[in-house]
């Protein structure tokens, strides 16, 4: 046989590309310099006075409380197992466990913060057991105070105060006979055969654990997140319910920044955070990893499949299956406000890098009450403290609907709600009443070829109040004397409702200027003139929303292209907005679904009401007397009566 020809070996195969966290390669792998370390130490010292770090003694106290709660859960599950006649061997090994999620699990909780917890039980323990026998067991514990169950919530929860620490406990029953100590909740197979409430309850832990798994350096991530959360709270953009971002959304943005700069430390990551998200091309989604397909038939965020997902303005997608958009509440206005804050943060951190400013400048609260020339003040009142807490929670959860409605008006460029609520002065000092108010700053656009701008806001306020009252009535929460009022105030009139320490901040340039005049009993006239104008930074030049479904009654346009507001001046007269009272009978439909966008009203709005009386915006609105007896029966639609 002829020998086979000898072939020289070819070049070795190329090494596999290095693994990196995230869906794309890092922007920079640069290691920190000494100047970065110095700036990071200065950042830590700046954060300390704000209470973002908890003392070791307090951390140990939290750990001890969670151990007690965990032992209580195990004891309760053993008792349930025995009552259901399970074999003794199973009873001894049945397990059960308390998991944590949210800021405590991420390691970024602040002094006095509450703890989000999840009780995981085996398959023979029902949700009804959790809200009966476990609730009763907690009630008997001497260290448990303020115990209350919210079984009908979207994510059912037991709330309590354990030795002075507020704890929210969710419940999930897994399809397992026992719960092992080393259970990893990131395992997708655990979701099989679970009801939707258990899947929702598990979601918080799964998302939190996944975030920690996807960041390259947990310590750098935590310090950066502490700084960004404090910044967001100081700048009034930390509120998921009002259309800004909540804790998990801020955590995901910081985690994505860490992925893009995996070797950077906190001082650099804070600066890069503002760089990345001031330039981000929304609505491109923020993803921490590629979404994975699972054959569990659970709804996931996917704009290719779900038309409603295409209208989300600032999607930040949770990394755990089923992937969801954590920011579906974001509106045109709240996104504009946040992007502008990102840009301001970038400018400040650039000054810090150049030693022209200290870190404290980043955490200075902006002067919201000097920023705008016109404000809408919403007031919610109830006769008792318990009713007031429920009423305020409902009203606050619907304010974003009003903001979305205002945004659709072609002459309103921006409606900026301050996430902070304030106690409102009593109407009658001799009457027991609890009152809370929220403030919305308005930026208005001057019409072309005209010095007069007329906008009727009655429809928008009426739709909002109707939605709130219908939900309260349908959920059987409504009580007599639960009220909502709305009024317009000029900047110089805010002192009549707000404490001086809120208003006495350094003045900033006004965002815009207009004049509001009461034209008639059911309309508002907003007139702009050219006096006392001043130059201000403009919002992004054009932000377009998608088409909005629903009625356009009472509007100039059902869709909106939001433009930068021109600068003008203020010369304002007194106006009032409608005040609405509900009927004692129910009507309408329940509120919007969880994934509803902020720009869609939850119920069909009522016809425009007749405003019977105009009051000065400089004073609190006096409630007109409610009809009684046969007079009340003659009102065709009390929901829209004023």
Mean pLDDT of 350-360: 97
pLDDT, tens digit, for every residue of 12-56? 665 555 567 789 999 999 999 999 999 999 999 999 999 999 889
**185-199, 507-521, 585-599, 627-641: which is most confident:** 185-199
Per the structure block, which two tokens stand in for 191?
């979701």
pLDDT at residue 447, rounded to an integer: 77
Q: Which residues are annotated as a binding site for Mg(2+)?
A: 114, 116, 168
pLDDT surpassing 70 at residue 637: no
Name the average pLDDT for the chain.
78
Helix, strand, or coil (residue 489): strand
pLDDT, tens digit, for every residue of 69-80? 999 999 999 999
Closest listed residue to residue 382, CA positions, set 419, 418, 427: 427
How far is residue 596's CA from residue 619's CA, in Å, rounded to a whole number? 36
> Which residue carries 């606050």 as its tokens?
396
The H or E element containing residue 97 is strand 97-101
Residue 442 near residue 539, CB atoms below 8 Å: no
pLDDT, tens digit, for every residue of 532-543? 322 223 333 333
Q: Which residues are annotated as a binding site?
A: 101-103, 110, 114-116, 168, 229, 238, 247-248
**322-336, 455-469, 517-531, 544-558: which is most confident:** 322-336
Q: Which residues are annotated as a binding site for ATP?
A: 101-103, 110, 114-116, 168, 229, 238, 247-248
Mean pLDDT of 146-158: 88
pTM metric for this prediction: 0.76
Residue 447 near residue 526, CB atoms below 8 Å: no
Mean pLDDT of 385-401: 91
How far is residue 221's CA from residue 251's CA, in Å, rounded to a whole number? 9
Q: Per-residue confidence at 430, pLDDT binned at 50, 70, 90? A: confident
Higher pLDDT, 138 or 522: 138
pLDDT, tens digit, for every residue of 170-180? 999 999 999 99
Catalytic residues: 103, 114, 116, 168, 229, 238
Q: Is omega for the bond preceding 177 within 30 degrees of 0, making it cis?
A: no
Residue 482 near residue 604, CB atoms below 8 Å: no
How far is residue 624's CA from residue 642's CA, in Å, rounded to a whole number? 7
């Amino acid at each position: 046989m002829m020998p086979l020809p000898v072939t020289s070996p070819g070049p070795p195969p190329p090494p596999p590309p290095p693994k990196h966290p995230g869906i794309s390669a890092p922007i920079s792998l640069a290691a920190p310099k000494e100047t970065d370390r110095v700036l990071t130490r200065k950042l830590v010292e700046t954060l300390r006075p704000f209470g973002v770090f908890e003392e070791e003694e307090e951390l140990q106290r939290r750990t001890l409380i969670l151990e007690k709660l965990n032992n209580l859960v195990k004891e309760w599950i053993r008792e349930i197992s025995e009552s259901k006649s399970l074999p003794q061997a199973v009873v001894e090994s049945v397990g059960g466990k308390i998991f944590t999620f949210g800021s405590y699990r991420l390691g970024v909780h602040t002094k006095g913060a509450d703890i989000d917890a999840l009780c995981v039980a085996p398959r023979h323990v029902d949700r009804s057991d959790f809200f009966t026998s476990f609730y009763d067991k907690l009630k008997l514990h001497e260290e448990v105070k303020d115990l209350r169950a919210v079984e009908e919530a979207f994510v059912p929860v037991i709330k309590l105060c354990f030795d002075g620490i507020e704890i929210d406990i969710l419940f999930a029953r897994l399809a397992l006979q026992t719960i092992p100590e080393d259970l990893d909740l990131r395992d997708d197979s655990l979701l099989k055969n679970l009801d939707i409430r258990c899947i929702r309850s598990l979601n918080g832990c799964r998302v939190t654990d996944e975030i920690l798994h996807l960041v390259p350096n947990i310590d750098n991530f935590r310090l950066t997140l502490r700084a960004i959360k404090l910044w967001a709270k100081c700048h009034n953009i930390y509120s998921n319910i009002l259309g800004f971002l909540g804790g998990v959304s801020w955590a995901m943005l910081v985690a994505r920044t860490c992925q893009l700069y995996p070797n950077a430390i906190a001082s650099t990551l804070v600066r890069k955070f503002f760089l990345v998200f001031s330039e981000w091309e929304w609505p491109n989604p923020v993803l921490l990893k590629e979404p994975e397909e699972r054959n569990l038939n659970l709804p996931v965020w996917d704009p290719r499949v779900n038309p409603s997902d295409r209208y989300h303005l600032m999607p930040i997608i949770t990394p755990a299956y089923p992937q969801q958009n954590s920011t579906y509440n974001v509106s045109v206005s709240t996104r504009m406000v946040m992007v502008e804050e990102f840009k301001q943060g970038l400018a400040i951190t650039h000054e810090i890098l150049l030693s022209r400013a200290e870190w404290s400048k980043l955490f200075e609260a902006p002067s919201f009450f000097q920023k705008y020339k016109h404000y809408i003040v919403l007031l919610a009142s109830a006769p008792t403290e318990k009713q007031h807490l429920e009423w305020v929670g409902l009203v606050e959860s619907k304010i974003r609907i009003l903001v979305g409605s205002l945004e659709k008006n072609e002459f309103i460029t921006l409606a900026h709600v301050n996430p902070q609520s304030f106690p409102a002065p009593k109407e009658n000092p001799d009457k027991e009443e609890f009152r809370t108010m929220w403030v919305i700053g308005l930026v208005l656009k001057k019409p072309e070829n005209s010095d007069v701008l007329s906008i009727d806001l009655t429809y928008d306020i009426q739709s909002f109040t109707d939605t709130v009252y219908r939900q309260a009535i349908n959920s059987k929460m409504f009580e007599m004397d639960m009220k909502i009022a709305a009024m317009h105030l000029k900047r110089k009139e805010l002192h009549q409702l707000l404490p001086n320490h809120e208003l006495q901040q350094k003045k900033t340039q006004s965002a815009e200027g207009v004049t509001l005049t009461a034209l008639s009993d059911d309309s508002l006239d907003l007139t702009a003139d050219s006096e006392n104008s001043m130059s201000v930074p403009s919002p992004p030049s054009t932000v377009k929303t998608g088409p909005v479904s629903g009625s356009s009654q009472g509007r100039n346009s059902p869709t909106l292209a939001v433009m930068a507001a021109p600068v003008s001046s203020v010369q304002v007269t007194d106006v009032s907005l409608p005040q609405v009272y509900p009927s004692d009978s129910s009507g309408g439909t329940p509120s919007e679904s969880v994934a509803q966008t902020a720009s869609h009203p939850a119920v069909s709005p009522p016809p425009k009401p007749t405003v019977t009386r105009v009051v000065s915006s400089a004073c609190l609105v006096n409630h007109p007397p409610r009809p009684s007896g046969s007079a009340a029966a003659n009102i065709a639609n009390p929901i829209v009566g004023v």
